[in-house]
Amino acid sequence: MSAAELDARLLATIADWSAGGVGCDDPAFDEHARALFLHQVERNEPYARFAAACGYSQERPPATWREIPAVPSSAFKDAVLATFDVALAELEFHTSGTTVARSGRHFVERATLYDAASLAGFDRFVLADRAPIRFLNLVPNPRFRKHSSLGYMVGHASVLRGDGAAAYFLEGDSVDVEGFANALDAAIAAGRTVCITGTAFAFVAALDAFETAERRFVAFSGSRVMETGGFKGRTRVVARDELYARLEDRFAIPQTSIVAEYGMTELLSQLYDDESSRTSAIRVKVAPPWLRTLVVDGDGREVAFGETGFLRHVDLANRSSVVAVQTEDRGYARDGGIVLLERDLDAPPRGCSLDAEELLGAHATARPDR
């Protein structure tokens, strides 16, 4: 199947789901995913080599989408995983890299797919009420960090769904706390509902500053928070429930209006906290129907429902790279979605063997940012 045909098919799926339809059912997903596999092994040599090492090829394709060989997310550092000439890429996203010095690169042939896939999820899970809204963003500004997939995604939503006054308050590792406070004050004074997006670490930095200054805000009714990104490489980690309690306390935004997004540079679709679980201690992440997640063990075998394992995503929006990505994230299946666990890379080592991290003088810390 050609790229254009695959893209058209996915766009139709997204449009159907956005309009309240099913999007794609199990057979449709399976057929689409396997078509993508064939498309990719024909055009994406590194993926074809990896698939061959796993025993799959065009001649011997996976029997179902569950069998599609998933590249480890680190493969985006080791190879150019693209089905096209990357000089023609409309988008290029970089991971920050945590375990080795190199960063991973995800080339996207058509921005249209990413725009449609990411916006549809954002609309459904963050902006379901379609309220007129102002974006205050504690994420990388896409104007200056053009290779940040998070910045791009939020920027796209801000432009298409915002009130035209979106602003960014994260520069490198620094949060412009004063600028953010002023912007929030202005939105409140104008009676404007806000959507505050940010990485967990940026939120903590802002909260620390506001708490020190004993400064509180009462965001306009309907305001919300989209949190993402964890605590990549940070020495200070705050438990998520503590973070949400502090956000609620400082901004008067109820925890039910705080939505965690789970995405990564290597995927063009995202998962979000299911609305029904936002009142629960355990938040379940759900995805649009063109992104499906398997929970697998260390050898790549699916685990029983409810058991903990690694998350493997099959994302139909990854048309121009690799449809299946094996992540380093852990979680378990529950209530039609998955529960994401914090990464545990501190398992006590055994023996006296050297490991690569030691040799490189680097240490793995957390999942890559975007």
Partner 1 sequence: MLIRALRAAHIVDAVAAASSRWRDADFPARVRATRAIVERTGYSEPVVDYALDRLFGSLTAAALRAAIAGELGSLEALDGFVERDGRPDVFFRGLEEVTIVSSQATIGVAIPPLAYALCAKSRVVVKDRSDGLVAAFAQSLAEERPELGAALRIESWTSHDDPHALERLAVSDVVVAFGGPESLRAIRAQTPPDGRFVPFGHRTSAGYIARESLVDTERARACALGAIRDALLYDGEGCLSLHVLFVERDGDVSIDRFVALAREALEATALEFPAGSDELSPPTSIARNAARFRASQRGGAVIAGAAQGLLLIDPPQEELPPLVPRALALYPVGGADEALGFLRRHALPLVGFATNDAGRADILGLAVASGASQIARLGTLQAPSLAGEHGGVGRILPFVRAITKTG
Q: Which is nearer to partner 1, 20 or 349 (CB)?
A: 349
Residue 326 found at the interface with partner 1 (CB under 8 A): yes
CB of 300 to partner 1, least distance (A): 8
Query: Given the rule CB under 8 A, which of 68-76, 149-157, 214-222, 270-278 is the region that contacts partner 1?
Result: 68-76
CB of 357 to partner 1, least distance (A): 9
Residue 359 found at the interface with partner 1 (CB under 8 A): yes
Residue 46 found at the interface with partner 1 (CB under 8 A): yes
The CA-to-CA distance between both ends of the chain, in Å, stands at: 30
Determine phi and psi for 203, rounding to 5 degrees.
-60, -45
Nearest residue to 300 via CA among 25, 70, 65, 61: 70
Residue 97 found at the interface with partner 1 (CB under 8 A): no
- Per-residue contact flags (x/-) with partner 1 for residues 293 to 322, judged by CB under 8 A: ----xxxx---------x------------
Query: Given the rule CB under 8 A, which of 70-78, 106-114, 167-175, 202-210 is the region that contacts partner 1?
Result: 70-78
Binding residue (CB under 8 A) for partner 1 from 61, 72, 97, 233: 72
Q: How many residues bind partner 1 (CB under 8 A)?
A: 37
CB of 71 to partner 1, least distance (A): 6
CB of 307 to partner 1, least distance (A): 10
DSSP letter at 365 equals: -
**Distance between CA atoms of residues 235 and 238, nearest Å:** 10
Print burial letters for 225-250: b (CB count within 10 Å at least 16), e (below 16). bbbbbbbbbbeeebebeebbebbbeb
Do residues 136 and 187 make contact, with C-beta atoms less than 8 angstroms apart? yes
CA 21 to chain centre: 23
Nearest residue to 314 via CA among 7, 33, 56: 33
Residue 364 found at the interface with partner 1 (CB under 8 A): yes
**Distance between CA atoms of residues 144 and 133, nearest Å:** 23
Query: Given the rule CB under 8 A, which of 133-141, 147-155, 225-233, 358-366 is the region that contacts partner 1?
Result: 358-366
Q: What is the rounded (10 degree) CA torsion for 141, 143, 144, 149?
A: 60
Strand 309-315 relative to strand 258-262, pairing: unpaired
Do residues 217 and 189 make contact, with C-beta atoms less than 8 angstroms apart? no
CB of 98 to partner 1, least distance (A): 11
Residue 355 found at the interface with partner 1 (CB under 8 A): yes
CB of 62 to partner 1, least distance (A): 16
CA distances from 322 to 51, 76, 242, 267, 293 (A): 11, 10, 36, 9, 14
**Distance between CA atoms of residues 132 and 191, nearest Å:** 11
Query: Given the rule CB under 8 A, which of 86-94, 108-116, 287-295, 324-332 is the region that contacts partner 1?
Result: 324-332
**Distance between CA atoms of residues 34 and 323, nearest Å:** 9
Residue 74 found at the interface with partner 1 (CB under 8 A): yes
Query: Given the rule CB under 8 A, which of 103-111, 137-145, 221-229, 345-353 is the region that contacts partner 1?
Result: 345-353
Residue 353 found at the interface with partner 1 (CB under 8 A): yes
Q: Which is nearer to partner 1, 278 or 367 (CB)?
A: 367
Binding residues for partner 1, rule: CB under 8 A, are: 46, 49-50, 52-54, 71-72, 74-75, 78-79, 297-300, 310, 326, 328, 330, 343-345, 347-356, 358-360, 364
